[in-house]
Structure 1
Amino acid sequence: MIKECENGKELIKNPLYLKISNIGSTINSIYPDYAPVISNDEKILFFTSRRASTTGGKRDPKDNKYYEDIFMVTKKDTTWQLSIISELNDKKHDGTIGMYDWGDKTYLYTYKSKHDGDIYESILNNNKITIPESLPYPINTRFHESSASLSPNGNHLYFISNRPGGMGGNDIWMSQREFNDSWSIPINLSDINTPYDEEGVFMSPSDTNTLYFSSQGHNTIGGFDIFKSTFKDGHWSKPENLGYPINTADDEFNLVISYSKQRAYFSSSRQGTYGDQDIFIINLLKEKPLLISDENEYVAKQYQPIKSLDTTKQSFIKKSENLKNEIAQKKNNNDINPCQTINWSDTIFFDFDDFNLDPIDIGKLDSLYNFLNKNSNAITLISTHTDNIGSDEYNKLLSEKRAQSIINYLIKRGIDRSRFYYMGYGYENSLGDNNTKKGRQLNRRAEFKIINVF
């Protein structure tokens, strides 16, 4: 964790000159939206979502989130139009993993949950798409396969698998197309892979020697970061972190670069999403940095790298015990380790279907204000929750309103808005039994974590 923090500090010293913005509500939702793949002309984009309209309408019992479905958007002028492609989806997991234009045909690579994960291929031609067909052995095996990308000449397939013979976890593998259109036995890209997981492999349609991917290893600044490696003299170069603000303390995945090299697309759960993972667009600048614009845009001069409230992921975050107990053991209020996260003891509880603060809540927030006022480097992460009465959408919005009430009060007290990050979870992370009155009250809560960044 400390190493990740040091990596982050170093990368922030040399920020990239680019503009990153949320691609918008036509594509993104309050649910996880991710894994964009784009056509060469950037007029067609496929992506994966776990929203309530999933085919079959059911949730995966492993994580209680809706099954993945594939969506398509087409661009007319500057407007995206959304549609569901029934040919690509079934009642289980279906996801986008790659796209390849060849002549008047577009090859779409997708993922299905068969055999713990297999890679499928469809052909898009004249606005019609074929039923996905599973790629043969030795690409698909009884192990997990996902995230495929063809080289520009179509002769090499790079993909992710956890099959035996790798470096550990999910690795990048490469298979070569044979003369009879079969695929060679894949080789492990050991120059790139780590004992941790690699994901989201992509080769640019205009560059046959550079591979992009996400990894939990190398010099990550927290969780999954996006890296690139170049093939030269028979070897892949040491992976290079794409830097800040593309990478943050949160997870970044699924980078794809447009054929024109003017834009790139990726998914992240950083601040500025509509509720969970969202798809973001990068506009690449060549000459001068952007000035900071609105809060949905991330630019080279943005200071704060910590975006996530998901403390279950690797990040700058280090869990600790109760904040007040720790402070009592310190000689002064500034003696908190850099990049350490500490649980604040006071939880706020809300009445049913309400986001207003009562006098007890105000007292708890005044205590938090006093601490933040004395510790100017401290960042507050706020997670807000609801019971399960009402729809997913409504409870997501209600939990966000609860977070906003808290933040607005502390801003009025004089704490700068930039020191707060929040996530409204709805009823996803229940602590109590929603079948009982006491359990529902326990779930209508706001929790706080404090980070001392630098």
Structure 2
Amino acid sequence: MMMRNVLTVLTIFFFTSQAVGQNPNLSTQDKKALKYYQEASALLRRVQYPEAIDPLRKALDRDQNFIEAWQALGLSYFKTGKLDQAIECYEKPIEIDKESVRVPRSYFTLADLYFQKEEYQKAVDFANLYIENRQNETANIKTLQTIIQNSEYILEAIKEPLPYNIKPLPGQANYFKQQYFPVLTVDQQSLIYTGRNRDENIYISRLGENGDWGMPSPISNNINTDLNEGACTISADGRILIFTSCQGRRGFGSCDLYITYKEGNDWAVPENLGIDVNSSSWDVQPTLSADGRTLYFVSDRPGGLGKKDIWKSSKGEDDKWSSPVNIGAPVNTSLDEISPFIHVNGESLYFASKGHAGMGGFDIFMSEVNDGIWSEPTNLGYPLNDRYDQVSLYISSGGEKGYYTIERVVNGEWRSVLHSFDVPPQFRVKRRSVFTIGHVIDKGTRKFLGADIKIFDQSNSELISKVKSDAVTGEYTIVLTEGNEYGLYVEKRGYLFADYSFNVNKIENFNSDNLEIELQSIKEGVSMVLNNIYFEFDSFELKKESYSELQTVYEFLKANRNVSIEIQGYTDDKGTKQYNEALSENRAKSVYQYLLDKKVPPRMLSYKGLGAQNFISPNDTDENRAKNRRIEFVIKKLDN
């Protein structure tokens, strides 16, 4: 489950076939040199690279122009991590006979070796030399073109390092030798990640008042076991968690995704996401939308563009997950894409890839979705990306702060350290998000309530997200993305729904103070203002922004068949009494007719226009007058 930081190593089997003596047309006639070479060949076939060095040296003592022996010795040094010696060996055939048909094999490996040594111009030069000499070798040329692409990208990127200001997380977050795949709750007060002690488990660390992260503790005994748990994601409210488990749990494939829900302070026993999401393949590294209803994850199942691709599943109105779909190009490529992170705005995807131009190995990229189409991925640049693998990051709701893991070998051991960084402006999300936290409360008893909370885009009445308040604490978290007007509806059986509207033009102008929501139990005589009903000016024609509210009223009546309501229309104090009464009645009738058209039984509905009376605000400003121009409904009858 942990992604090791290993350098890109090109396959050099076509060297091995020469080195192990399968080609009789060798470049030496010295019989003793051939004997030593054949001895080394047997060792190379058994991948005994250190042992092959001595006989190859002896072969070269006999014949310094033995090209295949130099290349085999280079292979032995290459496989034992001695890159400088390997380079010397692979360069020897070029000195011996630049025109030899055997020399391009040196060009091929030297391109990779110099890339690993971060001598990128030499890597490009040798790659081009090979391509010039072996233009018909498509597979090898494709590999070298990747080296050229990455080298040229790096040469430009390192000229102007970006101001990432990368720092290890302060405090105790980096308690283990290895910790990775960080995610945070939307308020950035709780850090959840995979920590490796004897096995992998999920831990939580909380931010202290001094800005340091506290000692990590296991997230829950219901989640962590003696098996491996890791690579998790959490909804914005911190109440839905999906994680990866690869050993021991009963599942469908080598690694499966599991889900658990938090109620109060306790996490439920995890459940396998099921065959609708998991497969017989490798299903890992989940990332959830803010409301926990859209899931991206990595799988190597059939039907993808590469071996490892990013897939997507959504939860429907029936709360069942859809069959996953591959998100396709340009995000996924013929190579590997892993560790996706979907920002809380639901539009900005960050992921690691080997298939796009980068620094080599896995680099982190970002892509934005618009009307279902993903933009061409952008590399996040140097020094966030470097010659090591970069995977698994989290970006804050405002898009300015990020968190990720840096892995290195320290004193012969792999160490994984969590870091934070500043996101340069060009890599921040196009649309930022803001969150607000509050509670849902019974207006009469003051008890906390578990309720459904729906958020609609008012411009098209599209459902944006759906969350629940905690049944024990009543707490909820909603996330709103700038550039939209939203309608928010809070529903619970046995209660009138509550409605609100938010204009999030710029998050700097949004009041994110806690919103305490009171629900009124259904009783005869109680009423509520329909805050999201809008009409054209001086008209009773319903505006499209009203449809989310109208749909919510319809669903309320559908769920409460024992209720009869009166729809009441009101105006402000401008205009004549006769005009205001007529306008208010026609507006109330428009709502009444909409509900009739939705097949609400007529016995449940009536309407009345009351004109300029029962003001809820003084008629002294345009804003207050707008509040008085309203539609209400009153519970007129409640059948047992």
- Matched AA of 1:277: S
Q: Which residue of 2 aligns with 1:3?
A: 149
Which digits, 9 at most, give the CA deviation of each residue in 1:311-359, with x for residues without a partner?
Answer: xxxxxxxxxxxxxxxxxxxxxxxxxxxxxxxxxxxxxxxxxxxxxxxxx
Q: Which residue of 2 aligns with 1:243?
A: 381
Q: Which runs of 5+ in 1 are unaligned?
A: 55-66, 288-454
Q: Which residue of 2 aligns with 1:221?
A: 359
* 1:364-379 equivalences in 2 (<5 Å): none
Residues 1:166 and 2:301 are matched in the alignment: no
**CA shift for structure 1 position 151:** 2.4
2:235 to 100, 103, 108: 100
Residues 1:90 and 2:225 are matched in the alignment: yes
Which digits, 9 at most, give the CA deviation of each residue in 1:245-282, with x for residues without a partner?
Answer: 21111111111112233311111215899951221111
Residues 1:69 and 2:193 are matched in the alignment: no
- Kept in 2: contact 1:39–1:101 (CA 8 A): yes
- Matched AA of 1:83: S
- Distance in 2, Cα, partners of 1:127 & 1:263: 28
Q: Which residue of 2 aligns with 1:428?
A: none
Q: Secondary structure, in 3 states, of the residue corresponding to 1:3?
A: helix
- Distance in 2, Cα, partners of 1:155 & 1:134: 16
- Kept in 2: contact 1:22–1:272 (CA 8 A): no
* 1:260-271 equivalences in 2 (<5 Å): 260-270=398-408
**CA shift for structure 1 position 100:** 0.8
- Distance in 1, Cα, partners of 2:415 & 2:151: 24
Q: Secondary structure, in 3 states, of the residue corresponding to 2:364?
A: strand
Instruction: Provide the alpha-carbon RMSD of the alignment.
Output: 2.4
Relative to structure 1, is the Cα distance of residues 270 and 260 closer, same or farther in structure 2, using a 3 angstrom cutoff? farther
- Kept in 2: contact 1:16–1:244 (CA 8 A): yes
- Matched AA of 2:318: N
- Matched AA of 2:158: I
- Distance in 1, Cα, partners of 2:254 & 2:178: 20
- Distance in 2, Cα, partners of 1:239 & 1:80: 33
1:201 to 330, 337, 340: 340
Relative to structure 1, is the Cα distance of residues 111 and 31 closer, same or farther in structure 2, using a 3 angstrom cutoff? same
Instruction: Return the structure number with greater strand share.
Output: 1
Q: Which runs of 5+ in 2 are unaligned?
A: 1-146, 427-640
- Distance in 1, Cα, partners of 2:415 & 2:212: 23
Residues 1:27 and 2:173 are matched in the alignment: yes
Which digits, 9 at most, give the CA deviation of each residue in 1:106-134, with x for residues without a partner?
Answer: 21221111531111112234432222221
- Kept in 2: contact 1:39–1:99 (CA 8 A): yes
Residues 1:175 and 2:308 are matched in the alignment: no
- Kept in 1: contact 2:171–2:212 (CA 8 A): no
- Kept in 1: contact 2:390–2:406 (CA 8 A): yes
1:212 to 350, 353, 356: 350
Query: TM-score w.r.t. structure 1 length?
Result: 0.55
**CA shift for structure 1 position 30:** 6.0
Q: Secondary structure, in 3 states, of the residue corresponding to 1:246?
A: coil
- Kept in 2: contact 1:8–1:221 (CA 8 A): yes
- Matched AA of 1:203: I
Relative to structure 1, is the Cα distance of residues 233 and 101 closer, same or farther in structure 2, using a 3 angstrom cutoff? closer
- Kept in 2: contact 1:17–1:286 (CA 8 A): no
Relative to structure 1, is the Cα distance of residues 270 and 8 closer, same or farther in structure 2, using a 3 angstrom cutoff? farther
Structure with more relative contact order (C-alpha pairs < 8 Å, separation 6 or more): 1
Instruction: Return the structure number with greater helix share.
Output: 2
- Distance in 1, Cα, partners of 2:178 & 2:195: 6
**CA shift for structure 1 position 153:** 4.5
Relative to structure 1, is the Cα distance of residues 132 and 194 closer, same or farther in structure 2, using a 3 angstrom cutoff? same
- Matched AA of 1:73: S
Which digits, 9 at most, give the CA deviation of each residue in 1:51-75, with x for residues without a partner?
Answer: 2xx3xxxxxxxxxxxx211111112
- Matched AA of 2:217: S
Q: Which residue of 2 aligns with 1:137?
A: 275
Q: Which residue of 1 aligns with 2:501?
A: none
- Kept in 1: contact 2:311–2:326 (CA 8 A): yes
- Distance in 1, Cα, partners of 2:195 & 2:176: 10
Q: Secondary structure, in 3 states, of the residue corresponding to 1:282?
A: strand
Q: Secondary structure, in 3 states, of the residue corresponding to 1:181?
A: coil
- Distance in 2, Cα, partners of 1:282 & 1:124: 30
**CA shift for structure 1 position 238:** 1.2
1:151 to 284, 289, 297: 289
Q: Secondary structure, in 3 states, of the residue corresponding to 2:151?
A: helix
**CA shift for structure 1 position 227:** 0.6
- Distance in 2, Cα, partners of 1:124 & 1:43: 17
- Kept in 1: contact 2:180–2:193 (CA 8 A): yes
- Kept in 2: contact 1:109–1:148 (CA 8 A): yes
2:369 to 222, 226, 231: 231
- Kept in 2: contact 1:19–1:285 (CA 8 A): no
**CA shift for structure 1 position 29:** 4.6
Residues 1:127 and 2:265 are matched in the alignment: yes
- Distance in 2, Cα, partners of 1:109 & 1:99: 7
Query: TM-score w.r.t. structure 2 length?
Result: 0.40
- Kept in 1: contact 2:170–2:213 (CA 8 A): no
